[in-house]
Structure 1
Amino acid sequence: MPRDDPNKRFLKFCVPIHKHALNGNWPAAKRILDKQNELKNAAIANGWHTLLHISAGANQIHFVKELLKMLHDNDIALQDANGNTAFCIAAAVGNMKIVDLMLKRNPDLPIIRGALGYTPIQNAALQGRYKMAWHLYDKTIHCFEDNDWELLFFACIYTGIYDLALKMARGRNALAFARDVNEETALHLLAQNQMPLDSCCHCLEHDHHPIMTNPGMKNHVVFQLVKFLWTTILDRHYTSKDELNEIINKPSQLIFDAAEVGNFGFLSELISAHPSLIWEMDSKNRTILHIAVLHRHASIFNLVHQIGHIKDVIVTFEDEDRNTILHLAAKLARRGQLELVSGAAFQMCVELVWFEKVKKIMLPAQIKSKNSKDMTAEELFSNEHEKLREDAESWMKKTAESCMLISTVIATGVFAAATTLPGGTDDTGKPNYLKKPSFLVFAISDTFAFISASTAILIFLSILVSRYREYDFYKSLPLKLIFGLITLFISITSMMVALSTSFFIIYYHGSMWIPSCITILSFLPILLYIRLQFKLFSDIIYSTYYWKTLSKLGKNMIYVLEK
């Protein structure tokens, strides 16, 4: 092989220095550069990446700092095969220190475009680098063209940098009407928003003039952005229904997108500014109340408490298959909504709660109306929930059988303890420790354990012999299970107390550390029971009393700000 073979030189120098750059090993890289100085600005990897590209992408701050001392200003602006400078990469990974080091050497780096013609701030925004996007904003916008504004604006919407998007929209109202590559406006994207509201993207670090939104909710910047965009659109097209419909209904009907995902805050802003949207219908002749029922969004459904007699008109609407809103409540909820509670029995309970609450707002004549398949809402409910009812029956039986077995074991054990008294009896059959306080505690706790265990057996037996009709899961079976688990807990607790006091009686004249340790250890099964059954208890209570969620007024969707 020739002495200057490029493959050999690549393996001998480029590969090692590449690894040193990734690991931030500057001393080792410096030794190679002392021998091969031309590598400091050469393309040493596929894609024409230089040492600066690699170390900046790997967040190696010290390595970049030392390397910059060896580079000329022109070297810092070198681009890879995609057109990205090292500054573009540093902005995309969000390393503020590296970005500032490069800016000191070349202030024009923020306006050098990279891959696809994107500026570094656009790369940072697409990666969700909140602080970096703000850091580069004022350094970049002076070179922006109209297309750049839209690219950055939508990048901020995609990744949740809403306060920067709001700042841009305030400065350029035309962004409210802009559409992305999918022909969606910012409002279409925000309608489908399901991002948690506790993320940093919703804070207002840079805004000292917040827009007031629904006073019943936190003044999140995402809702401020929605309100600003919507009011901007209304200011221009409020009197032109056709133009307004063109904006909010193409490519999809955004209020129904929001209703489908349960975006209460979004709908609150739109409907409060334009209440006529309550009457809007989708392509299947359904209003947002129909969608809220179909997708089980209680916060949106509670709008019925605000609109008075309007709901009496809306509930008469039928979709293209002649389904009333009660028929939609009769359909099986989507998997994601069902799994808000665990266990088929409780899912069945929540479904029944929904069906009953919607039935209460229906006109009596419509409750028995049939759809295009000649089915009433109740018949549709039975048909849609048959598999869920069977699963609920199976789950309830297995749970009752297991709990009944445990209750039987406890009842047997405490009954045996009551007949063989701790400490024994004298010749007349009188307990030797009858007058001791510990014996009294034992007698009471043992009796409580037996009675509660026996009660639990009867409750779980009543569950086992139930007919498991649909409406048995509405309240009857969940309440029985609650009382059964409570009595089982009482029996376990009482049994542990009886066990502890029996040892105090037996070792009364001996080593007191033995009953003391046993007493402490006896609380472990109680704590374990609470820990393991807490989720089950919460699911039972949630499903059984879920109707209160659908009955309470909660947050008002339509609001008026007091001036």
Structure 2
Amino acid sequence: MANYDHILKCLPIYKAAIEGDWETAERFFKEDKRNLNARITYETDTTLHVAVGTNSSHRFVEELVELIMDEDPQMLLTANCYGNNVLHYAAMVGNTRAARLLINKYPELAQISKPNGHTPLKLAARYGHKETLCYLLQVTNDVVGEDGTSPYRGHDGADLLTLAIIADYYDVALYLVDKYPDLVTEKNIKSQTGFQILAAKPNAFPSGMRIGFWQRIIYSWIPVNREKALESPVTRLSRMVTTQNRYKAGYGLHVPFWSVLHYLAPRIKYMHDCKVMHILTEELVKHMCSTVLKKGNHAIAWDVLGTTLRTAVTHGIYELIEECIHQYPGLVWYKMGEFFLVLVAIRQRQEKVYNLVYQMSGHKVYTAIAWEEYANNDTALHLAARLAPRHRLNTVTGAALQMQRELQWFKEVENFVQPSYKEALNDENNTPRMVFSIEHKELLNEAQQWMKDTSSSATVVAALIVTMAFAAIFTAPGGNNDNGKPLFLTDATFILFAISDAVALFSSSTSVLMFLSVLSSRFAEDDFLYALPKRLTLGLISLFVSLAATMVAFSATLSLVLHDEIQWIAAPVIMMASVPVTLFLLLQYPLLVELVRSTYGRGIFYKQNNLLLH
């Protein structure tokens, strides 16, 4: 068993390195020069390892490096038990200042890899330190080392590219692809290309953004200088001091205005950074695809681009698929297991990928053809009839809307395929409609229960409003005169009360009728496509109108009764009355918008742009 007693004797140096206390450490080094390279931790780290790893003891590191250079520069090559030298530590913690110092003193450090093949360059990418990574890109040479590898070739180069993409450093990835084109077709240690990794990152593309209507408008307005956004990160290194100003080079003409907004509204800065990222990924996809095709090797192109499309379909990144097919139309026929592109999009419920058929010529009729060897002899319509993957179902709120989305997919594919498919039998002797009923039996029950629960709860509220609105008109505020007429009949505020009370009564009655029609429905499958969502939408809108009208009637009544005694009562009453109306709107708005969009909107199937693909 190894003896580690010497570690305890080195504790003062260990603490001094962590705290940046150079004066204390200097005394130990003057007493015994061997302490300069002593192993002071269980992992056999030296004092310089510890100091560099803090990423804060900068003066300590500078003084210690000067002593080491005077004593023996070879000490900088000392590795711990894991094979990490001090530059590896600097790369892992993002200590760019120490990395610059070490490279200036001993340039060969940049080329030294660990026993597992990780260079400082790859470690900076793996641990997500962009500034350090960009600096190491400048100083790491494309030379073959003693182990016969280069940081920019083979598996090591592919690892570097994939790690940059994983870390969302798309400008770095674009720089690598431009300078070392062979990396596009190289595979990393997991047999994946950088293109495949990119195809698994939907958030890097506009279609993967989850932002609302107003945010999309702001996104479209934000100015971005495309030329500066595509600038090499290596040449931009001097301006990349912090994460905050990393992408300032991407601003448009209104720099002061948008700079102020970035500080006042962090969400705008986020959308600006996303827009820059989308420009980079768009350019990266074009470069990678064209680079593969320029090699002139169909086998490589078919493998790299085909496997990329297979991943992209699963994640719904239609922008990447569109560009690849635009450059090589034949990829439409790349076989992904048992299916072609469009059939996989149907099975995975990726509507934006499926919509690419609207950008095809008459050849699109062949994309839904089912071959004999397909599993269970399913046609395209059978695939649409099967239950969507759970993660795709959950993109829609509520079981009823999930059922509606499934019906929309079935109807869309039914209109797309050839007529003979509509009654075709698979190996289980089931037609597509039979498959739909079997696969969606549980979802149908959940949708029925969801509709009943929602309608029952809303019916109670609407019925209470009907009762209050009906009774309120017969108990007019202020009372009646001897002729039975309200005392405030000629007052404009009373007219407001009467009108709002009538609106509350009529709209709440409408709401009750809509919800009762839902509760008394037969809940057949096709009812969830249009009839039930329409009734629920009208019921919720009527309920909101009745609630708002009730609050207006109450405010008018209170103002009539108290305005002679407390004249200032109107303003605070109106503000307080708006609270429940606002809460109802905020709580029910997402569901209402989704109902309206899915029932009355243009739908999820449409032509996304005018680019002809095939």
* TM-score, normalization by structure 1: 0.87
Letter in 2 for 1:366: Y
Q: Report the secondary structure of 1:89's partner residue.
A: helix
Letter in 1 for 2:529: Y
Does the 8 A contact of 2:51 with 2:61 survive in 1? Answer: no
Q: State the Cα deviation string for residues 248-276 of structure 1 (Å, max 9, x = none).
A: 56xxx443232222222222222112212
Q: 1:440 to 1:248 in 2, by over 3 A?
A: closer
- CA–CA distance in 2 between the matches of 1:131 and 1:248? 31
Matched, 1:26 2:29: no
1:143-292 pair list within 5 angstroms: 143-145=143-145, 146-149=149-152, 150=154, 151-160=156-165, 161-197=169-205, 204-206=230-232, 220-237=279-296, 241=298, 244-245=301-302, 253-284=307-338, 286-292=339-345
Does the 8 A contact of 2:20 with 2:56 survive in 1? Answer: no
Matched, 1:450 2:476: no
Match for residue 539 of structure 1?
594
Match for residue 504 of structure 1?
559
TM-align CA RMSD: 3.0
Does the 8 A contact of 2:500 with 2:550 survive in 1? Answer: yes
Match for residue 358 of structure 1?
413
Shift of 1:64: 4.0
Matched, 1:54 2:50: yes
Greater alpha carbon shift after TM alignment, 156-165 vs 336-345 = 156-165
Q: 1:370 to 1:426 in 2, by over 3 A?
A: same
Letter in 2 for 1:311: K
- CA–CA distance in 1 between the matches of 2:469 and 2:178? 74
The number of aligned residues is 535
Letter in 1 for 2:195: L
- CA–CA distance in 2 between the matches of 1:288 and 1:63? 58
- CA–CA distance in 2 between the matches of 1:455 and 1:190? 51
- CA–CA distance in 1 between the matches of 2:299 and 2:99? 48
1:480 maps to which of 515, 532, 535: 535
Matched, 1:308 2:367: no
- CA–CA distance in 1 between the matches of 2:44 and 2:520? 75
Match for residue 519 of structure 1?
574
Shift of 1:230: 3.2
- CA–CA distance in 1 between the matches of 2:130 and 2:599? 43
Match for residue 212 of structure 2?
none
Does the 8 A contact of 1:404 with 1:461 survive in 2? Answer: yes
Shift of 1:331: 1.1
Q: 1:376 to 1:430 in 2, by over 3 A?
A: same
Q: Report the secondary structure of 1:141's partner residue.
A: coil
Does the 8 A contact of 1:191 with 1:257 survive in 2? Answer: yes
Letter in 2 for 1:189: I
Query: Structure 2 stretches of 5 or more lacking a match?
Result: 210-223, 236-275
Q: 1:242 to 1:313 in 2, by over 3 A?
A: same
Q: Report the secondary structure of 1:449's partner residue.
A: helix
Greater alpha carbon shift after TM alignment, 510-519 vs 164-173 = 164-173
Match for residue 114 of structure 1?
114
- CA–CA distance in 2 between the matches of 1:96 and 1:260? 38
Q: 1:255 to 1:191 in 2, by over 3 A?
A: same
Letter in 2 for 1:230: C
Does the 8 A contact of 2:87 with 2:102 survive in 1? Answer: yes
Q: 1:374 to 1:423 in 2, by over 3 A?
A: same
- CA–CA distance in 2 between the matches of 1:6 and 1:33? 23
Between 1 and 2, higher relative CO (CA 8 Å, sep ≥ 6) is seen in 1
- CA–CA distance in 2 between the matches of 1:546 and 1:427? 55
Match for residue 78 of structure 2?
78
Letter in 2 for 1:227: K
Matched, 1:134 2:187: no
1:4-43 pair list within 5 angstroms: 7=5, 10-11=7-8, 13-14=10-11, 17-19=13-15, 21-22=17-18, 25-27=19-21, 30-31=23-24, 34=27, 39=35, 41-43=37-39
Shift of 1:546: 6.4
- CA–CA distance in 2 between the matches of 1:245 and 1:6? 57
Q: Report the secondary structure of 1:548's partner residue.
A: coil
- CA–CA distance in 2 between the matches of 1:115 and 1:476? 66
Q: Report the secondary structure of 1:220's partner residue.
A: helix
Shift of 1:438: 0.9
Query: Structure 1 stretches of 5 or more lacking a match?
Result: 209-216
Q: Report the secondary structure of 1:432's partner residue.
A: coil
Q: Report the secondary structure of 1:289's partner residue.
A: helix
Q: 1:422 to 1:71 in 2, by over 3 A?
A: farther
Greater alpha carbon shift after TM alignment, 157-166 vs 88-97 = 157-166
Q: 1:275 to 1:444 in 2, by over 3 A?
A: same
Letter in 2 for 1:267: I
Q: State the Cα deviation string for residues 352-400 of structure 1 (Å, max 9, x = none).
A: 1111111111222221111111111111111111111110110110010
- CA–CA distance in 1 between the matches of 2:388 and 2:368? 19
Q: 1:373 to 1:528 in 2, by over 3 A?
A: same
Does the 8 A contact of 2:360 with 2:613 survive in 1? Answer: no
Shift of 1:244: 4.8
Q: 1:20 to 1:499 in 2, by over 3 A?
A: farther
- CA–CA distance in 1 between the matches of 2:16 and 2:551? 64
Match for residue 212 of structure 1?
none
Q: State the Cα deviation string for residues 391-449 of structure 1 (Å, max 9, x = none).
A: 01101100100000011111112222222111112222221111111111111111111
Does the 8 A contact of 2:62 with 2:101 survive in 1? Answer: no
Letter in 2 for 1:141: N
- CA–CA distance in 1 between the matches of 2:67 and 2:113? 21
Shift of 1:20: 5.4
- CA–CA distance in 1 between the matches of 2:433 and 2:110? 64
Matched, 1:425 2:480: yes
Match for residue 529 of structure 1?
584
- CA–CA distance in 2 between the matches of 1:35 and 1:235? 61
Does the 8 A contact of 1:153 with 1:168 survive in 2? Answer: no
Q: 1:358 to 1:349 in 2, by over 3 A?
A: same
Matched, 1:99 2:99: yes
Match for residue 327 of structure 1?
382
Q: State the Cα deviation string for residues 451-476 of structure 1 (Å, max 9, x = none).
A: 11111111111111011111111011
- CA–CA distance in 2 between the matches of 1:195 and 1:516? 46
- CA–CA distance in 2 between the matches of 1:498 and 1:140? 75
Q: State the Cα deviation string for residues 221-269 of structure 1 (Å, max 9, x = none).
A: 334334333333333335xx556545556xxx44323222222222222
Does the 8 A contact of 2:159 with 2:189 survive in 1? Answer: no
Does the 8 A contact of 1:103 with 1:109 survive in 2? Answer: yes
Match for residue 553 of structure 1?
607
Shift of 1:295: 0.9
Does the 8 A contact of 2:111 with 2:140 survive in 1? Answer: yes
Does the 8 A contact of 1:368 with 1:377 survive in 2? Answer: yes
Match for residue 402 of structure 2?
347
Letter in 2 for 1:406: V
Letter in 2 for 1:148: P
